[in-house]
Structures are given as structure tokens and as C-alpha cells.
Amino acid sequence: MSEIPTVLVVGTGLIGTSIAIGLKNAGYEVVLHDENEHALSVALAKSGAQELSNQACDLVIVATPPSAVAEVMRHALLTHPHAVVTDVSSVKATILNALSDLGSAELARVVGGHPMAGREISGAAGAQGNLFVDRPWVLTRTDFTSEATFKKVEQMVNALGAVVIERSMLDHDEAVALISHTPQVVASVLAGELVGADAGHIELAGQGIRDTIRIASSDAGLWSEILAGNAANVAERVRSVATRLGEMADAISHGNHDQIISILEKGTAGRDRLPGKHGASRVSDALVLVRLDDKPGELARLFAVAAQAEVNLEDVRIDHSLGRMTGLVELTVSIAAQSTLESALTLAGFVVIN
Amino acid sequence: MSEIPTVLVVGTGLIGTSIAIGLKNAGYEVVLHDENEHALSVALAKSGAQELSNQACDLVIVATPPSAVAEVMRHALLTHPHAVVTDVSSVKATILNALSDLGSAELARVVGGHPMAGREISGAAGAQGNLFVDRPWVLTRTDFTSEATFKKVEQMVNALGAVVIERSMLDHDEAVALISHTPQVVASVLAGELVGADAGHIELAGQGIRDTIRIASSDAGLWSEILAGNAANVAERVRSVATRLGEMADAISHGNHDQIISILEKGTAGRDRLPGKHGASRVSDALVLVRLDDKPGELARLFAVAAQAEVNLEDVRIDHSLGRMTGLVELTVSIAAQSTLESALTLAGFVVIN
């Protein structure tokens, strides 16, 4: 094996091409393959990588659509008999189970991977080498994954600036059913209620429903593959939500206040378990609320004041109304920085609430 | 009636006190009443209004908790026989129906009101006179509301800078069941799923679930009153969501791809019906995506560049990962301003995607 690892990326969409760019920048040799010639040519141009011919590869990263991943991994294990093979798909057990008939020598060279980076856009055109910086990247071992194999994939993930989080296949799939796949389904179904609604009803929509159904605008084809790949976990969790909603509907119908309050309070407790952002749920975070006037440049001025006061903003949320920028701005900062920021903002003429 | 209208606000929480401050600023005479002496004293100090003694009032605004509104309105109609009476609660039919035994002379003086302003904070301490600027404020007539009555309330709403939207009681209540009450219930129930979950699962949570359950942190006592006041509409809508989720769970279990895709696509179609913000669903809007480095002051610099380029930002969204500010920033601007902004940002060294 050469000192500079050669990585083959199969599938040059947003994720595959972003990996190619990032690994090139980190000094890897990168070769690319995609059945779609147009996608491949864009990816080659963006990354400066080479097209796959007969290079010997140390690492194969399969970044195809979910339904093709297992077969492409199998093919890679056979055609690159010394290479480590990993993938980037958001479901793990169905893919790794599909390879379980392989021998331990092959499975020793396999690690499942899931970079949890944004999918707001798709395609090679939107790829960037820094897409994974500071993002979680879950790795899952097979029963036979060798230490050397795991380390090679871990190094690649670190080279992209991502944070390795190791989980078992089953753990990963249960986790994403809970924190990604079920929210996607719930948001889509709730958003679907708007389809037949009166325009005059929708006109009253505020920031609440807007946030709740934001992720409902999604790639239905990709998501149907993801949900199919994690069917048992997602179906169970979605059924649980459906059952709880049915109970809530009954409680509301029957005026059962205690039960209504208990369900709402459980929601608050669940929401408070999310780490970090929004609502200052970390004990070290404070929320500063500022009412912004509807004047051009006010937001820029707000951030300039924060920067001048040398306050690091952990998070920013802007509440809208009637399609204008005016509204409440929520700034999350460390408790240590709160009073510095509030003073600086007040001095600059901003309305700080509380 | 004097030329300067005298307004009585009953209930000095966030909404009542904000109304008092705003109307004082607009030149109204304002008197306040609250059973809670502490809340009242904070509100008097913040607004500069007077305590209710025996002033003659032209307009009574009832801003008590929902469960007390109907009785307080009834009392106001009797004790202020020449005053117009309105409220600010988020459900209309149950309140106005509770007054239906009154004569047409009394009901002529009643208009239901619902200012759709933020409730992120509560209590008189957080009140501001500009809370309602550019926000929708729904007004609903009784069968007997006189034109003079409606006009008086409309003038008050306009004086606060809010936008009057007239709806029937039934229309209003159906609308808020759809766009506010059901999303609240769904977010709370979904968030409740996190309560028993492994910490290692929750650690993988990203921006998607964070947005989906943001509103789950809510005042359970207030919300149980709101849901009870709109029970039939909310229960029906929540049951519909529960049924659709059950169907989706079955479709996922049975691998029914067509049905899964159809439900997901319906979600996208519903999401696209929301006016304006997020995702540039207005045809006149464009999305500019910028990847932000994790350096202090980058966000300030971004907004400064936009301000210098004289581009008006319609919306800003920041996607987070692992508790840092790095990530993708979504700027919504008019299509006309898109290339100006992209050039200015690129020139300033920002990574603009696409």
C-alpha cells in the first residue's frame, strides 16, 4: 500500500463529490465512478479527481442511492480485494445484512458509514469539501471488521473534518428512526393537511407551523428508499406517534385536562433533551431576545454590535410575521456573555426584552 | 364620548400590558385592571396607564386567561353599558357562544379579537408596545355587532400597528385548529417520544427534528385551555393526522412505495402552500446558500456585506451541527437581488453554493 492512500468514490452526487473534494484537499489520491456521465464530468471538474480506470484502491466509498448500495459494495469487495469498503447511506442494518453471506475475510474489510450532513441541496454542482466539517459521521462495524479497516475509515472521516461516532447497526437505525425518519414522516403528514385547506385559513399561518413542517419539502424518491431501508423501526415509531395522537384527540374531545397537560408536559420534557441549540436548554446557555425594527440593515447592525462586543453567538433565530423581517430575534450566548451583549445592544438602541 | 378614547384593559399579562403600552403611545387614555396585584403594578409602571377606579370607558379589552374571558366580557358589558367589548383569546366560538343569551343590544357592542403575536415569553415584564406591529389580528363579529362597534375595535388594532383580518367565528376556529393548535399537539407528541430514548440516540439529533419540535416547549396550562376551547375542531384534525400516520406506518411496513411517495409528495405540496418565508416558495424569492466558517464574527461580516450591497434579506436560516455556529446559512432575497448578493459575498471571500 502506498503512503498516499487512493480512494475510489462510487456515486458522484452531493455527498460523493463533496467527499472527493475534501479528500483531494486533504492530500488523498481520489478516483471517481458514476454511471451517469454528466454527474461524473461535473464531479471530476469540481474535485480535480481522476476517472476510475484500473487504479489499485485502498478505500472504496459507496455513495450511490440507498437501493443500490449493497450491490455496489459487494462488487467493490470482489474487484478491489485489498481495499476497505464503506458507504454513506442513512440506514445501516439492511445494507450490511444484505452482505452477510460474504465470508469473514470480506466482511473484515467493511465498515458502514453515515455522514449526518445537510441535504438541503443535491447533485455534484452543490458539492463542497467542507460539507462535513464538525458534523457527526456514524461508523458501524460488521461482526468481522478488522481494527486496521476501522482505523482507515476513521482517518478518512477525520480528514474531512467530521466527528466519528461509533454505533452498532441496530443502535444507529433505531436512533435515526427516532431523530430523523419519524420527524420526516410526521412533518410530511402534518403538511399534507394543508393541501385541501382554505387559502383564508393558511393565510393565518405563523412561525410555529412553518418550523414544524419545514422538512416536509423533501425528495420523495430518496426518502421512500430511506424509509423502506429502516421499515420496522420507522413503522413502529410512527405507529407510536399515531397512537399517542389518537389518545390526545380523545383527551381533547372528553375535556380530560389532566391528560392533556400530561401529554403537553411530556413534550416539553422531550424537547428539553435535545442538546444545545434553541431555547438555551444547555445550562451554560442564555437567551437574549431582541425586537427588531423593520428598517433595512438592522440585522447587520445587530450582528456588528455583537461582534464588536466580542460576544460569540451560539445560535440565532428570527421569528417572522406577514412576510417581513421585523420580529423577535433570539440570540443564544453563553451565560457569561449575556450581560455584555445585553448592555452593548441596549447602548446601540436595540430593544432587549426582559 | 370624549375625543380621546378611554380603553380599559382587563388582564395585564404579556398581551394586555403590550396593548396598554401601545395604546398609550398612540394617544389613548388607558386604564388597567388585574386581580393579581403584582402583575398590575408591573403593568402600571411599564405602561404609564392608570389603575381602574370609576372612569367611563369607551372600549374594554379582555386579556385574561381563556377560561375567564367570557365571564369577564359579560361583566364588562353590564358595568360599562356604553362601551365596546372585545377580547384577545385564540379561540372564538366557545367564548362568543357563552354570551349568546345576552340581548342584541349587548351583542351589538361585542367583537371577538385574536392578535396573532408571539408568545415566546409571558408576563407583563416582557410587554412591549410594538408587539403587534405587522402581525395579523383577527376580528370576528357576533350576529348583532354594529358597524360603529366594529370600527372602534378596528381603529384600536390599527393604532397598535397590527393588520385586521376579518373572519367568522367558525372560520377562525377551524383555521387556528389547522395552522396552530394541531401543529402544537403534533410537535408535543413527537417530542414526547424523546423522553424514554437513549441519550446516545438523541446525540445524533440534527436541525430537522429540532425545527419540527421547537414549539413543543410551551405553557401546558395555557395550551390545555386553548385546546379545550377549540376541542371539536382540534380533535377532528388531530385524529386525521393520527389516521394518516397509521396509513403511512402500514405503507412502510408493507413496502408500498407508491403510497409512501404519494404521502411524502402531498406533504411537499402542503408545505408549498405556506406564504413567503423559508425555502423561497414565493416565485419572487430566491435562496442564497452560504457555508459559514467557524470563525468569530463571520455571521456579522456576512450581514455587513449584504447591507453594503444594499440587499434586503427577506429571511435567514442557520443550520447547525454539533453545537457550533458553523454550517449552512440560507438567505432568502428577491430574485432581482440574488446575483448582486452572490457577487458581493463571493468577492468578500464567502463560499456561495451553486
Q: What is the pLDDT of residues B205-232, one digit of tens each?
A: 887 898 899 899 888 998 999 999 999 9
Contact yes or no for B121/A289 (Cβ under 8 A): yes
Give the single-character DSSP code of A348.
T
Domain membership flag for residue A254: yes
Is B192's CB within 8 Å of A244's CB?
yes
Task: Report pLDDT for B279.
Answer: 40
Looking at the domain assignment, is residue B277 inside a domain?
A: no
Task: Evaluate whether residue B107 is within a structural domain.
Answer: yes
Cβ-Cβ pairs closer than 8 A, A with B, add up to 478
Q: B168 pLDDT band (50/70/90 cuts)?
A: very high
Same domain as B152, residue B48: yes
Phi and psi at A324, nearest 5°, equal: -120, 165
- Find the range with the poorest average confidence among A123-137, B4-18, B74-88: A123-137
Place of cell 403590550: B18
**What pLDDT does residue A2 have?**
47
Closest A-chain CA to B117: A321
Is B327 touching A (CB cutoff 8 A)?
A: yes
Q: How far apart are CA A201 and CA B337, in angstroms?
A: 31
pLDDT at A323: 43
How far, in Å, CA of B51 to CA of B47, rounded?
Answer: 11
Window B:190-249, CB contacts with A under 8 Å:
190-195, 197-218, 220-221, 223-224, 227-228, 231-232, 234-246, 248-249
Cβ contact, residue pair B354, A187, below 8 Å: no
- pLDDT for residue B324: 46
Please name the amino acid found at residue B246: G
Q: Which residue reads 399517542 in cell numbers?
A: A244
Q: What CATH number does the domain containing A332 carry?
A: 3.30.70.260
β-strands B351-353, B285-292 pairing: antiparallel
C-alpha radius of gyration, chain A, whole number: 24
Beta carbons of A51 and A32 less than 8 angstroms apart: yes
Cβ A205–B265 below 8 Å, yes or no? no
Residue B111 contacts by C-beta under 8 Å, 6 or more apart in sequence? B84, B85, B86, B139, B140, B141, B142, B145, B149, B150, B153
Determine the angle formed by the axes of helices A220-229 and A231-253, rounding to 10 degrees: 100
- The answer to whether residue B167 scores a pLDDT higher than 90 is yes
- Is the same domain home to A24 and A159? yes
Question: How buried is residue B147: exposed, middle or buried, by Cβ count under 10 Å (0-12/13-18/19+)?
Answer: exposed
pLDDT (tens digit per residue) in B235-290: 999 999 999 999 999 999 999 999 999 999 999 999 989 875 444 344 566 778 88
Same domain, B248 and B159: no
Q: Is residue A22, in this structure, part of any structural domain at all?
A: yes
Torsion region of A75: left, alpha or beta (phi above 0 gives left; psi -120 to 50 gives alpha): alpha
Q: Are residues B222 and B156 in the same domain?
A: no
Specify the long-range contacts of residues A332-337, CB closer than 8 Å, at least 24 apart. Answer: A332/A277, A332/A278, A332/A280, A332/A285, A332/A286, A332/A287, A332/A288, A333/A285, A333/A286, A333/A288, A334/A284, A334/A285, A334/A286, A335/A284, A335/A285, A335/A286, A337/A286, A337/A311, A337/A312
Of A118, A134, A167, which one is at a domain's C-terminal end? A167
Residue A1 belongs to some domain of the structure: no
pLDDT of residue A306: 85
B303-332 confidence digits (pLDDT tens) = 888 888 888 777 777 765 444 445 678 787
What is the percentage of chain B residues whose pLDDT exceeds 70? 92
Last residue of a domain, one of A108, A141, A167: A167
CA distance A103 to A144: 9
Q: Are residues A232 and A293 located together in one domain of the fold? A: no
Question: Which residue, B273, B348, B335, is CA-closest to B306?
Answer: B348
Question: Do A162 and A182 share a structural domain?
Answer: no
Cell numbers for B270, please give them. Answer: 402542503
Largest Cα–Cα separation, chain A: 71
**Averaged pLDDT for residues B29-56:** 95
Structural domains of chain B, count: 3
Which residues of chain B does A194 touch, with a Cβ-Cβ cutoff of 8 Å? Answer: 178, 270-271, 273-274
Last residue within a domain, chosen from A167, A197, A223: A167
Collapsing DSSP to helix, strand or coil, B50 comes out as strand
B319 and B178 fall within a common domain: no
Across residues B111-124, what is the average pLDDT? 78
Q: Is B46's pLDDT higher than 50?
A: yes
pLDDT at position B225 is: 92
Answer whether A140's CB lies under 8 Å from A168's CB: yes
Same domain (yes/no): B267, B295:
no
Residue B161, Ramachandran bin (φ over 0: left; ψ between -120 and 50: alpha; else beta): left
The alpha-carbon gap from B307 to the nearest alpha carbon of chain A, in Å, equals: 5
Asked if B227 lies within 8 A of A252 by C-beta distance, the reply is yes
Could you say which of A126, A304, A321 has the minimum Cβ distance to residue B353? A126
Q: Does A280 map to a domain?
A: no
Distance, CA of A93 to CA of A101 (rounded, Å): 14
Q: What is the pLDDT of residue A326?
A: 54
Q: Does A78 touch chain B (CB under 8 A)?
A: no
Q: Which domain holds residue A28?
A: 6-167
Q: Which residues of chain A have a CB within 8 Å of the CB of B194? A: 178, 270-271, 273-274
Average pLDDT score over residue span B181-188: 98
Claim to verify: residue B223 and residue B194 sit in the same structural domain: yes
Q: Domain for residue B42, yes or no?
A: yes
Q: What is the mean pLDDT of residues B111-128?
A: 78
Q: How confident is the model at residue B185 (pLDDT cuts 50, 70, 90)?
A: very high
Task: Note the pLDDT of residue A208.
Answer: 87
Distance from CA of A54 to the nearest CA of B (A): 32
Residues of chain A with pLDDT under 50: 1-2, 277-282, 321-325
The pLDDT value given to residue A258 = 96
* Same domain membership, residue B258 and residue B232: yes
Minimal-distance CA residue of chain B relative to A324: B314
CATH, residue B19: 3.40.50.720
B120's grid cell: 415566546
Q: What is the pLDDT of residue B126?
A: 74
pLDDT at A276: 55
Report the pLDDT value the prediction gives residue A25, as an integer from 0 to 100: 94
Same-domain status, A23 and A63 = yes
**In this structure, are B249 and B326 located in the same domain?**
no
Whether A276 maps to a domain, the answer reads no
